[in-house]
Every structure is written in structure tokens, then in C-alpha cells.
């Protein structure tokens, strides 16, 4: 079995563990993964990290229209497909994107079977030519993978009738994302944090407002970058929080476990927008794997990811968020219990090994 995966997401070093798991679990498979040298978004450019590259071939391809989510594509991909002659081309892209359409056409022209992956969990309609692209990719595909049950429902409602599996795009390596081995000192000050893009939909203004009325000992870190950073810093100053809230730039994915191990609470206060809601919340499962209790809003998939392993509050409800933080700050036993429950939930549902095994099962069904 020869599989070519096209994935700009796999420029992130931590995500490459899934690729190593895929290769290790199926020695009869030859796996090639094509990635761009980096990807631009509102927070800047994320460059390719080489962290987990054993057992498969990694190809770096030039990317046209980098940062244009709907319009980017890989000009040299067709030649790579003709050279590699894959049985399956796994297109790790949304079905309404030009990159998906071109990869699908090029793969099928060479006799390969194809699948695409989607996180899209809102029923959205697109203008031409993207609706034409979407319809082609709904009709001409052997399999589809949705990252969540709500995403799967969206594509069924849009008319996709073929085989469909619900598998998160990536899991967590529990041997890397580990709980801290150090016990908290008697004078320990609880550490609250957010990690991710600094954009309005992530609800960080809500977090700062909740912290402004939060009594007791605590400190907080907001780690990330994005267009909302200046506004958030101004809010922190207005609320007189700068002595207790630290803004930090993002760190490489391989350094995130060490960051989580310093935390007592991770918060994801996302709010639903007209054209977006939280599709998964990867920082939640990473923190949970490290034994960190999590607090998340009711936006999108957050409640389904957290389950009973954290505290969920109604989105946009500052008072409820503050109350959740008060509970965790004042109750170390509750923090320990939720941290233990969170890691157990990750081990049961969200590991790279489980994601790899489910993906391999899809490949085998496609070739059966």
C-alpha cells in the first residue's frame, strides 16, 4: 500500500507523531507526506518544524497563494503524484478549497483513490467557484474523514453520501505530554493560562474581565500572537492586571509540554461567530494529557472534548467563568481530581496511536 498525504497542518512538529505512528503500525505501507515550507495566517507565519520524521518520507513542496485559505495550491504536486504512484491520496484539506480540488483531480487521473478531511462544523454556503469545487469533491471521492460528529452532520446535510469516519485530525502523544513530576510548594501561586491565537473569537477579553474581579493568589499567562494583541494588552492595563498577567509569544510545539507542566488551569473561553465556532480546541487535550484541569466555554466542540473532565461555562458569561476560576483556585483537591480525570479521558479517546489506527482502518477499507 502506497499512501501520499498532503497536509499543511503537518508542518507542526508535534503533529508529526501521528505520521510516525501510521508508519510503525503498518510496515507494509509506504507513506509519503507532502507539506509546504510554512503557512501564513493572521498571527504571522508558522514555519516547518522537523521533530518526528522516522519511518516515512517527508517532501517539502512550494505553495502558491500562501495564506489564502480557499485559493492556495501546490504547483508541483501533480509531478510528485506521477512519480510516487500512490494507491491512496489523503488530502488533509477542506473540500471547498482549490488545493483539495486540484489534488483530487491529479490523484484520480493517476488511478489513485482519494479522501479529504474536514473540520467544518457550521452549515455554510459558498459562492462560485467554491461551491462548484465543493460539489465536485463531494461526488468524486472514495472516503471522507470529519474531525467531529457535528462536522460529519454538516457534510451529510450538504449531500455527501459516501463512507465517512469521525476521527480527530491529530491526537496527543501521552509519552511527551506528561503531568509535572514536581509537587506544588506550600506557597505555590496558582497559574492560569491561555495558549493560542490572539483573535476576538477566542474570547480573551472575557478572560481578562473575569481575572479583573478574581480575588486570592493567582498569576496568569496569555501565550500566543495575533491581531488582537494590542487591544488585549490595553484591556489588561485598564483592569490593572499587568502585574499579574504576562503576555508571551508562541513557542515551538515541541516546547508546549513544558509550558503546560507549569499550569494549574488552562482556559479556552471561545465565543461563536457568524462564520466560526470552535472546531476542536487542541490545547484542551494537550493540557488534559499533562494533568492540567481545563475550563472551556460552550462554543462548538469544546463541551464534547472536555466531557466530565473539566468545567464548562456558557459562552460570553464572565460571571460563570470567574466562578469556575474561583472554584479551582480555592480547591487544590478539585484541581488534582480534574487533572487525573482529564488525562484518563485523553488516554481513552485522543492519543496519536488511536488516531493512527483509525486512519489505517480507513485506508484498508478504501482498498478492500
Which residue segments constitute the domains of the chain, with CATH numbers given? 2-171+351-367 (3.40.50.2000), 191-349 (3.40.50.2000)
Which of 249, 235, 242 lies closest to 318, judged by CA? 235
pLDDT tens-digit profile of 88-104?
A: 999 999 999 999 999 99
Whole-angstrom CA distances from 236 to 162, 227, 231, 239 are 49, 16, 9, 5
Work out the angle between the directed axes of helices 229-238 and 204-212 (0-180°, nearest 10). 10
User: What is the three-class DSSP state of 191?
Assistant: strand
Q: How many percent of the chain have pLDDT more than 90?
A: 91
pLDDT band per the 50, 70, 90 thresholds, residue 275? confident
Note whether 227 and 204 are within 8 A (CB): no
* CA-based nearest residue to 341, from 296, 287, 297, 300: 287
Burial readout 190-229 (b: 16 or more C-beta within 10 A, e: otherwise) = bbbbbbbbbbebbbbbbbbbbbbebeeebebbbbbbbebb
Q: How much of the chain, in percent, has pLDDT values that exceed 70?
A: 100
The pLDDT score that the predictor gives to residue 43 is 67
Average pLDDT over residues 265-282: 94
pLDDT at 52 over 90: yes
* Segment 337-354, tens digit of pLDDT: 999 999 999 999 999 999
pLDDT given at position 187: 80
* CA–CA gap between residue 344 and residue 238 (Å, rounded): 40
Q: What is the pLDDT of residues 181-238, one digit of tens each?
A: 877 777 899 999 999 999 999 999 999 999 998 988 999 999 999 999 999 999 999 9
Amino acid at each position: 500500500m502506497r499512501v501520499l498525504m498532503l497536509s499543511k497542518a503537518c508542518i507542526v512538529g508535534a503533529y508529526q507523531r501521528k505520521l510516525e505512528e501510521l508508519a510503525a503500525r503498518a510496515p507494509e505501507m509506504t507513506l509519503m507526506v507532502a507539506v509546504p515550507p510554512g503557512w501564513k495566517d493572521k498571527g504571522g507565519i508558522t514555519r516547518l518544524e522537523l521533530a518526528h520524521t522516522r519511518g516515512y518520507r517527508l517532501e517539502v513542496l512550494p505553495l502558491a497563494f500562501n495564506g489564502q485559505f480557499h485559493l492556495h495550491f501546490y504547483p508541483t504536486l501533480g509531478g510528485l503524484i506521477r512519480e510516487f504512484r500512490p494507491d491512496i491520496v489523503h488530502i488533509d484539506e477542506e473540500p471547498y478549497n482549490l488545493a483539495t480540488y486540484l489534488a483530487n483531480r491529479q490523484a484520480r487521473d493517476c488511478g489513485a483513490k482519494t479522501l479529504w478531511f474536514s473540520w467544518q462544523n457550521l452549515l455554510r454556503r459558498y459562492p462560485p467557484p467554491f461551491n462548484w469545487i465543493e460539489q465536485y469533491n463531494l461526488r468524486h471521492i472514495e472516503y471522507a474523514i470529519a474531525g467531529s460528529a457535528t462536522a460529519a452532520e454538516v457534510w451529510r446535510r450538504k449531500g455527501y453520501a459516501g463512507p465517512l469516519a469521525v476521527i480527530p485530525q491529530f491526537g496527543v502523544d501521552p509519552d511527551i505530554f506528561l503531568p509535572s513530576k514536581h509537587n506544588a510548594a506550600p506557597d505555590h501561586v496558582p497559574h492560569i493560562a491561555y495558549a493560542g491565537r490572539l483573535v476576538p473569537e477566542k474570547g480573551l477579553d472575557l478572560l481578562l474581565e473575569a481575572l479583573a474581579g478574581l480575588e486570592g493568589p493567582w498569576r496568569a499567562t496569555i501565550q500566543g500572537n495575533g491581531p488582537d494583541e494590542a487591544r488585549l494588552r490595553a484591556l489588561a492595563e485598564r483592569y490593572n492586571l499587568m502585574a499579574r498577567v504576562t503576555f508571551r509569544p508562541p513557542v515551538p510545539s515541541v516546547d508546549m509540554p513544558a509550558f503546560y507542566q507549569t499550569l494549574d488551569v488552562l482556559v479556552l473561553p471561545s465565543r461563536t461567530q457568524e462564520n466560526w465556532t470552535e472546531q476542536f480546541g487542541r490545547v484542551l487535550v494537550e493540557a488534559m494529557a499533562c494533568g492540567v484541569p481545563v475550563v472551556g466555554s460552550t462554543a462548538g466542540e469544546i463541551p464534547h472534548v472536555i466531557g466530565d473532565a473539566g468545567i464548562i461555562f456558557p459562552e460570553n458569561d464572565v460571571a460563570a467563568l470567574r466562578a469556575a476560576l474561583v472554584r479551582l483556585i480555592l480547591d487544590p483537591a478539585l484541581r488534582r481530581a480534574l487533572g487525573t480525570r482529564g488525562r484518563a479521558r485523553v488516554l481513552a479517546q485522543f492519543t496519536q496511536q488511536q488516531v493512527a489506527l483509525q486512519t489505517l482502518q480507513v485506508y484498508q477499507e478504501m482498498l478492500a
